[in-house]
Amino acid sequence: MTLHLLSPKDRKVKMQRHEVGYFRAEVKDVKPGDRYFFMPDGEQDYPDPASHFQPDGVHGPSEVVDHQSHEWQDTTWRGLPFKDLILYELHVGTFTPEGTFEAIIPRLDNLVDTGINAIELMPVAQCPGNRNWGYDGVYPYAVQHSYGGPNGLKKLVDACHARGIAVFLDVVYNHLGPEGNYFGKFAPYFTDKYSTPWGEAINFDDAWSDGVRDYFSDNPLHWFEHYHIDGLRLDAIHTVFDKKAINFWELTYYKVKLLEQKLGRSLYMTAESDYNSPKVMKSPEVGGFGFQAQWLDDFHHSLYVLLNEEGKKYYEDFGQIEQLAKAYTEGFVHSGEFVKFRKQRHGASSAGMSGDKFITFIQNHDQVGNHVGSLRLSTIIDYERLKLAAAAVMLSPYVPMLFMGEEYAEDTPFNYFVHHSDEELIKAVQEGRKEEFSGFNWDAAPPDPQAEETFTASKLIWEKREKGKHKIMLQWHQELIRLRRTEAALQCFDKNKIRVQTIGQTGFVLLRQCEKDQEHLLCLFNLSEAPLPYTIPATAPTWKKLLDSKLSKWQTGKSKAPCTLPNQVAANEAVEAPPLSITVYKSL
């Protein structure tokens, strides 16, 4: 193994092999900004697998980064309680016209005004070219050069913390992208024992896997310590395969907990998981993986199909309102039942697990970007249903997440895009995308992932939020978040204090109760286009209205506002919920 230094002068340094296969060389005159390669075979240059910066992309030299040079302004920041978060997923390249970390900073005050207090960045690890979703990253320790590199990310985190915004980062440990992936030249990073949808599986439990496990389990520490990140979202943890006595997630859990004690602030690990198993959120002491929370896809599927009949094509196992009721009261909808899509029984019960163990949403990068046409919900369902969707998420006993632009009903698509340089790989991606959607009988081909216009068409148009229906939707989200923060019953994550009463297949009542007293909230949802009869429960003698989606201020002005429910109702009083409405009452 040879270290090839390009600056301050071009030279090659022979490295010495040490225990368990590592190579080492000590060079004293290297400074921040100097660039280098490694030469595993002594002949060919390759970037450092643990590079912290790739200024010329995935094929270029690695650059030395000094993480002590940034003058952090967030020394008093201790993070936010996880249960209080309003998460906001965003893609750095399409969030602003400039597509950089620093360009996000002037928009942060808008997010604060909306009520958002946590952003979740889609992956920023170095990937090929200048535009990518981030899941083709090949340098898990390096910050994407086209976004602004290490300094840009640190400036963004500092600016967020100054405004009371936590920063989460999406990271990928289940695979590495194809272009610029030279890991096999250095060590057995991959194994053929398993396979993933994206190619070779990472070697977490085969021969020489110790170094691989350390490489990935140390990565969270890198983001937490050097970039002051508050939390990570781990992509598709069900495709990380490890049969060793100490599971990879257990190993990572204990490393993060030690760093948490050192830094004196909470460090959150959240998961995307297809297991539908509560063990994901349980601590390793009781056989779990130790995640703070996981994305609750079952909630999305249950709600989506009820709001959009066409959704049954994509989620054939959903469509009954009882499933949405179960999603509210238990979490996992599939908890051991036979699932047609999987052709087997799937999942385990999460009943009794605290609500802050789940993150819920009606849109995210996958649900939009992998939909036929890359359509946002605002272009699929009407405005009244869109308000219902927002309320269903924000009034839930879970930690809510919005997808960028959702708060003002952005209607630009969020396409799948890449920027590869390998012509064969480009063709494979283009053909793969066409094949993926061939069964949907499109009358046109999907957008070309490689084309720059596919990327630019996905950028948010911020000016929309200032006028018309977009402004009203923004204000609707602001009001929902205000209620969530001010009503004690909406701050209760004990699912034992949640009741859901279904009304046929067209409506339901979500009852939320405060932990400390008998205060109740009654959330009456009518998902149909006809009035819905309902009798007010005798839980309280009188109920006062807090929210009504049919008030004139929540209408777009294109149609006459229907009749609304009374401002105050009594126990056992018969009412009729207007079509496609959500009304919230508080017990007196």
CA distance 588 to 578: 23
**Taking a C-beta distance cutoff of 8 angstroms, is the pair 388, 463 a contact?**
no
Helix (H, G, I), strand (E, B) or coil at 451: coil
List the catalytic residue out of 235, 317, 406, 410.
Answer: 235
**Taking a C-beta distance cutoff of 8 angstroms, is the pair 296, 271 a contact?**
no
Give Cβ neighbours of residue 424 (< 8 Å, ≥ 6 apart): none
Distance set, CA 22 to CA 28, 139, 186, 248, 269 (Å):
20, 19, 10, 21, 29
**Taking a C-beta distance cutoff of 8 angstroms, is the pair 343, 333 a contact?**
no
Structure tokens, 87: 């998460």
For this structure, is 272 an active site residue? yes
CA distance 80 to 213: 30
For this structure, is 235 an active site residue? yes
Give Cβ neighbours of residue 584 (< 8 Å, ≥ 6 apart): 395, 483, 521, 522, 523, 524, 545, 546, 547, 548
Q: 392-427: string of b/e by CB count within 10 Å (b at 16+)?
A: bbbbbbbbbbbbbbbbbbbbbbbbbbbbbeeeebbe
**Taking a C-beta distance cutoff of 8 angstroms, is the pair 91, 365 a contact?**
yes
Going by the annotation, the residues of the binding site for substrate are: 233-238, 297-301, 365-370
Going by the annotation, the residues of the binding site are: 233-238, 297-301, 365-370
List the catalytic residue out of 89, 170, 205, 272.
Answer: 272
Burial status of residue 506 (CB atoms within 10 A of its CB: 0-12, 13-18, 19 or more): middle
**Taking a C-beta distance cutoff of 8 angstroms, is the pair 157, 229 a contact?**
yes
Backbone conformation region of residue 580, classed left if phi is above 0, alpha if psi is from -120 to 50, else beta: left
Give Cβ neighbours of residue 68 (< 8 Å, ≥ 6 apart): none
Burial status of residue 557 (CB atoms within 10 A of its CB: 0-12, 13-18, 19 or more): exposed
Nearest to residue 346, comparing CAs of 238, 422, 244, 433? 238
- Apex CA 488: angle with CA 483 and CA 494, to 5°? 115
Alpha helices in 205-312 (DSSP H): 209-217, 219-226, 248-263, 297-307
Cα 73 from chain centroid (whole Å)? 26
- Active-site residues, by number, are 235, 272
